[in-house]
Structure 1
Amino acid sequence: MKQTNQSTYQLLGFDQNWICVLHDLIHFNGDHDFNLDVFLNMEMQANASTPTQEVKFDIREIEKIKTDVSIYFGVASPKNKYPIYRDFLHFVKQEDYNNLIADSSILSYSSILEQAVLIDHQCVISAQTSIGFGVSIKRGAKIGHHNKIGAFSDINPGVITSGNVQIGNACEIGSGAIFKNNVIVGDNTFVGMGSVVTKDIPPNSIAFGNPCKVIRKNDIWNIQID
C-alpha cells in the first residue's frame, strides 16, 4: 500500500472550541490530509467540542516539539496565549512560530506581520498597518490604515478600526467594537463587544459602551511583555 506524506501542525495549549477553528482554517486553506499534534502545558482533559464533525488530534510530550514543523497557539485570548508562550519558551522561540492566514482575507502589500499571527476568514488589513507577535484577528474584522496592534492581543469578530488606531499589548477587543481615527488603547485592556471607542482608553482597563468608557481596572490579567 502506498504511503502518503501528511503535513503536521503543532498546537501549543488546548481550547476545545479554538482547536476546531484552527482545524477548519487549515482545511479551508487547501490541506485536507494532515495531523494535529497538541502540546499541553498543564494537566487537563483535552476533548474537542465537535457536535457536527470529529476533529482528530494527538497529545504529544513537550520534549517532542519540532521547530521545523508548523507551530501555532492552540488557544485564544491574551490571558491564555502569553502564559503558554512563557511555559514553552525553553523549547520554542518567537521565530519558530508560524502564521495562519485564511485565503479569504485581504492583507495590504505594505502591512507587516510578526510571528504567531492568526487571521481568520474575510478580514481586511489595510495599508501601513503592523500586527504584533501572537495576535489573533477573527472573522470579518476590518483593520484600518496605519494601525498598530500590540503583541498577544485578540481582535474579535466584526471589529472595525479607522485610521491611525493603536491597540496595545495583551488587549482583547470584543466583537463588533468600532474605533474612531487616532484612538490609542493602552496595554492589558479589555473593550466590550459593540463598544464605540471615540477617545483614548488607558492601560489596564475594562471599558465598554457607546461612547466607550472605563468601567473599572482590569484585574483579570496584567501581562508585562519584555
Structure 2
Amino acid sequence: MATHKIILQGGGEHARVVLDSLLVQGENVVALFDPKYAGDLFGIPQQGQYDPDFEPSAKAVVAIGSNLIRKRVVSQTRHQFTNVIHPSSIVSTFATMGIGNMILQGTIIQAQARIGNHVIINTGARVDHDCILDDYVHAAPGVILCGCVTIGEGAFIGAGSVIIPGKRVGAWATVGAGSVVINDIPDFAVAVGNPAKIIKYNKP
C-alpha cells in the first residue's frame, strides 16, 4: 500500500521499467519530469522540466540509465529520495543499501551485499554475498556478480556479464555485454570479451 507520493526524474526507456515497478507495488506516482517528454506514461502525467517546488513532501527516484547523467540530475534534485524494489526481487535481510536505488524485476541480492546510493540492479541481475556496489553503479540485465566482488562508483556492467569471485571493477569503468571478468579492471577502463580485456580508457 502506498505510503507517500513519488516523482520520477526521467521519462525515457529506463523510466518506463522503474515506473512499472512502482505501479505494481501500488505506489502513488504523481509525476514524471523530463524536458524531452510530454503527455502521460502509463497514466502518469509528464511535467517537462523538473520543478523543485512540486509536491515538496514527495519522494524522488532518478530513473535515468546513464550513470553520469543520473549523478548530475541527483545533484540538482531537491526532493528526498526513496528506493524502488520490485516485489519479484529477492533481497536478503542481511544485505544493506542506501537510497535512490532501483532493484528491478527478478533480481537477487544475497547476504552481506552492500549497495550504495542511486544504483541500478537491472532485470534478472544477481549480486552474490559480500559484494560491494558503490554509488551510481548500473548492473545491466542478466549480470552475475559472484561473491566478494567490488564495483566502483559509476561503473557500468553490461548485460549478461559475469565477474568471478573477489574481483574489482574500478570507478567509472565499463564492462561490455557478455564479458567474463577474471582480473581486476582499473578505474575508467573499458573491458570486453571472454576473458575480458581492456580495449581503451574513458576520460575521467
TM-score by length of 1: 0.82
User: Are positions 1:98 and 2:69 aligned together?
Assistant: no
Equivalent residue, structure 1, for 2:73: 84
Match of 1:25 among 21, 33, 39: 21
- Alignment-derived partner of residue 209 in structure 1: 193
Distance 1:98 1:203, change over 3 A: same
How many residue pairs get aligned? The number is 202
Choose the corresponding residue for 1:71, options 53, 60, 68. 60
Q: CA deviation at 1:83?
A: 0.9
1:185 corresponds to which residue? 169
Offset of 1:185 from its aligned partner?
0.8
* Contact 2:5 2:59 (8 Å CA) reproduced: yes
Rounded Cα–Cα distance in structure 2 between residues aligned with 1:157 and 1:47: 28
Deviation of the 1:47 alpha carbon: 4.6
Match of 1:46 in 2: 37
Give the percent of matched residue pairs that are identical in Structure 1 and Structure 2: 26
Relative to 1, partners in 2 of residues 1:48 and 1:161: Cα closer, same or farther, differing over 3 Å?
A: farther
Shift of 1:129: 0.6
Residue 10 of structure 1: aligned partner: 7
Cα displacement (A) at 1:137: 0.4
> Secondary structure of 1:109's partner?
coil
144, 156, 180: which one pairs with 1:160? 144
Where does residue 56 of structure 1 map in the other structure?
A: 44
Q: Secondary structure at the match of 1:207?
A: strand
Match of 2:94 in 1: 110
Q: How does 1:145-156 map to 2 (within 5 A)?
A: 145-156=129-140
Report the residue type matching 2:8 in the other structure. L
In structure 2, the CA distance between the partners of 1:69 and 1:159, relative to structure 1 (3 Å rule), is: same
TM-score, normalized by length of structure 2?
0.90
What letter matches 1:17 in structure 2? E
Runs of 4+ deviating beyond 3 Å: 5-8, 47-50
Deviates more, 1:64-73 or 1:189-198: 64-73
> Structure 1 regions of 5+ residues with no counterpart?
none
| Alpha-carbon RMSD | 2.2
The farther-off stretch of 64-73 and 110-119 is 64-73
The amino acid that maps onto 1:56 is I
Distance 1:23 1:130 in 2: 24
In the alignment, the residues of structure 2 paired with residue 127 and residue 194 of structure 1 have an alpha-carbon distance, to the nearest angstrom, of 25
**Unmatched tracts of structure 2, length 5 or more:** none
